[in-house]
Structure 1
Amino acid sequence: MGDLLARFELDDAVERLYRLAEEAERAGRLREAAVHFRVAADQRLGDAAVRLARVLFALGEEAEARRWCRAAVADGFPEADELVLENSSARQRFLEHAARIMVGAPTFDWLPSGMPAHRIAPPVITSRTRALRALDRRYGGIACHASVLEHLATVEPVVVVGDAATWTAVAEVYELAGWTAFDSGMPGAALPHFARALTLARQAEDEALIASVLARAGRMFLHHNAPEDALKAFQLGLVAAHNSWADRRALDDPARAITSLATTVDTYGDDRARARAIALTALARNHLALGDEAGATEFAVKAVEAARDLRSARAEDHLRWLDQEARAAGASVLAEHMSARSARCN
């Protein structure tokens, strides 16, 4: 009788640890989850070995993760083999996703688990992100990763009802979640955050943020001895950075900007009308900066047409800057065209 009672108490304690491990995993405390899952796996409780292997892969502890996968398969959990394959190709899948981002292919393959209870203004999101980033810089990722995940859980649902500013703000939270996961020793957990940051940054057409995310991913790959994958991430990030430079308002080198923009504007189809309108406007402004009023007017006409059905403050800003620059340069034909456009909009 005593042996049965002791066994019952042991099983109950192991099940409690399993539930604690689940809670810790959901909260992003993966090292704590691994400790609890390891005890449950040692006692061969259900799928604990599979759950432990998944957490260990996220922590970058591949050798031990593979051992537990073999144990799980032996105990009748064949899905553990799929877990090994999934992990081995994680970086490759991320880089393929990044490449699709760079050519503008549809990438929004996920949605938040629930609808937002209320709207959160982008400046509110950004303010909290900035404070958490300051903590990361001062105290390290381990000190603030859990808080970043809490922030992410709060703001993620608003992407469903958001606009470009919202997508950028939430993408920055995902970027920080990936970065602090990496700094907390959880490279496997970082990749999904970086991937979603890229997705949202592309939705917002924020090339500078895309470049930033890819640079951080590249640094993580280098740290974990994957120089070839790091190089691919850096190369893709360089393209995004170059695009961002070409689209920016300061016209430091118009000829170079025109060369860059000319190679990218035709890659934007109807599904990326905002990006096309902004790129065409940038081409017009750069031609104007070189004194080519005819070329500037030609691209301005195309930009106005591309923006015809848009509701985008960013696109409007670019067109407004072009209007201002045309007036300042005394480009009468272009200025008249922009004035006519403004009159139609009003």
Structure 2
Amino acid sequence: MSELLAQFELDDAVEQMYRAGESAERAGRLREAAVHFRVAADQRLGDAAVRLARVLFALGETDEATQWCKAAVADGFSEAEDLIRENSEERQRFLEHAARIMVGAPTFDWLPSGMPSRRVPASEITRRTRALRALDQRYGGIACHTSVLEHLAAVEPMVVVGDAPTWTAVGEVCELAGWTAFDSGMPGTALPHFARALTLARQAENESLIASVLTHAGRMFLHHNAPDDALKAFQLGFVAAQNAWADRRALNDPRQAIASLTTKVSTYGEGRARTLALTALARNHLALGDVAAATEFAAAAVASARNLRSTRAEDHLRWLDQEARQAGASVLAEQVSARSAHSR
């Protein structure tokens, strides 16, 4: 009788550890969840080995996670095989997403679950992000990751009703969420944040943010012994940094900008990114006094923008119009003015 009672008490204690693991996982306390699930998995309670493996993959503990997956498969939980495959493919999926971002492919494949309860100005989002970034730099990601996630939950719905400044601001929060997750020892949860940051940065056509996100992702890959993936991320980030430089309104070296933009424009399909690159090429050729080339690129930019609704693209075309008038390039100015008149 005493043996049965002892077994009952043991089973009850193991069940409580499993429930504590669930609670900790929901709260984002993954290391605590791993401790609880490990006890339950040792006693072969239900799918505890699967739950433990999922948490360990998120923590970057790949070897132990794989061992528990094999144990779970042996116990009849075949879904554990999918966890191994998904983990090995996760970085590759992120890098493929980043590559699509770099060529301007449509990537906005998610939306927040709800609408914003109030409009939050981009400047307000940015102020809070800067304060949290300062905490991260001084005290580390563990100290502020939960606060960053709370900030993200509050502002992410603004994506639905936002514009380029808002997408950039929320993208910066996603980037910080990914970075603090990595610094908190949870690389597996960092990549989805980095991926959404890239999506929002492309939506805002913010090459500087794209470069920053890819640099942070590359540093994370390097830290977790994935040098090949780190190199790919760094290379894509370098291209984005070059693009950011080439996109500045006031360029100190038009010839170098033209060389960079000529390579860049060939990678874009129809849409905003192509229009911006063509407009920048027109402006830089105009700065060199090559009115014929500038006019040719301006015509291509206007054609590319025919079905485009983008304030940023309109601003760049307007700047081109102003510069053409100042340079006495009347034909070029007429082309852009005709576009502006048609779009009103």
Normalized against structure 2, the TM-score is what? 0.90
1:79 equivalent to 2:68? Answer: no
Post-superposition offset of 1:340? 4.3
Distance in 2 separating the partners of 1:37 and 1:120: 40
Kindly provide the CA deviation profile for residues 213-255 of structure 1, in whole angstroms up to 9, marking residues without a partner as x: 1111111111122222211111111111222222221211111
The range that moved more, 335-344 or 188-197, is 335-344
Structure 1 equivalent of residue 139 of structure 2 = 139
Post-superposition offset of 1:345? 4.3
1:250 equivalent to 2:244? Answer: no
Structure 2 equivalent of residue 172 of structure 1 = 172
Distance in 1 separating the partners of 2:227 and 2:328: 52
Which runs of structure 2 are paired with 1:173-322 in the superposition (5 Å)?
173-270=173-270, 273-322=271-320
Post-superposition offset of 1:323? 2.5
Post-superposition offset of 1:83? 1.1
- Alpha carbons 2:136, 2:180 under 8 Å: kept: yes
Structure 1 equivalent of residue 128 of structure 2 = 128
Distance in 1 separating the partners of 2:46 and 2:111: 30
The range that moved more, 19-28 or 66-75, is 19-28
- Alpha carbons 1:29, 1:146 under 8 Å: kept: no
Kindly provide the CA deviation profile for residues 180-203 of structure 1, in whole angstroms up to 9, marking residues without a partner as x: 111112222212221222222222
Distance in 1 separating the partners of 2:113 and 2:51: 21
- Alpha carbons 1:198, 1:213 under 8 Å: kept: yes
Counterpart among 323, 327, 330 of residue 329 in structure 1: 327
Is there any run of 5+ residues in structure 2 with no aligned partner, and where? none
The range that moved more, 170-179 or 258-267, is 258-267
Distance in 2 separating the partners of 1:166 and 1:3: 63
Q: Aligned with 2:28: secondary structure?
A: coil
Distance in 2 separating the partners of 1:221 and 1:36: 28
The range that moved more, 73-82 or 152-161, is 152-161
Aligned residues: 344
Distance in 2 separating the partners of 1:27 and 1:299: 54
Distance in 1 separating the partners of 2:322 and 2:26: 52
Distance in 1 separating the partners of 2:83 and 2:58: 11
When the two chains are superposed, the root-mean-square deviation of aligned CA atoms in Å is 2.4
Post-superposition offset of 1:7? 5.0
Distance in 2 separating the partners of 1:122 and 1:99: 27
Which runs of structure 2 are paired with 1:27-66 in the superposition (5 Å)?
27-66=27-66
Q: Aligned with 2:112: secondary structure?
A: coil
Normalized against structure 1, the TM-score is what? 0.90
- Alpha carbons 1:58, 1:188 under 8 Å: kept: yes
Distance in 1 separating the partners of 2:320 and 2:19: 60
- Alpha carbons 1:28, 1:149 under 8 Å: kept: no
Call closer, same or farther: CA 1:109–1:276 in 2, change over 3 Å: same
Kindly provide the CA deviation profile for residues 105-147 of structure 1, in whole angstroms up to 9, marking residues without a partner as x: 3433434344444443322322222211111111111111111
Post-superposition offset of 1:4? 5.6
Call closer, same or farther: CA 1:337–1:153 in 2, change over 3 Å: same
Code of the aligned partner of 2:324? A
Is there any run of 5+ residues in structure 1 with no aligned partner, and where? none
- Alpha carbons 2:41, 2:48 under 8 Å: kept: yes
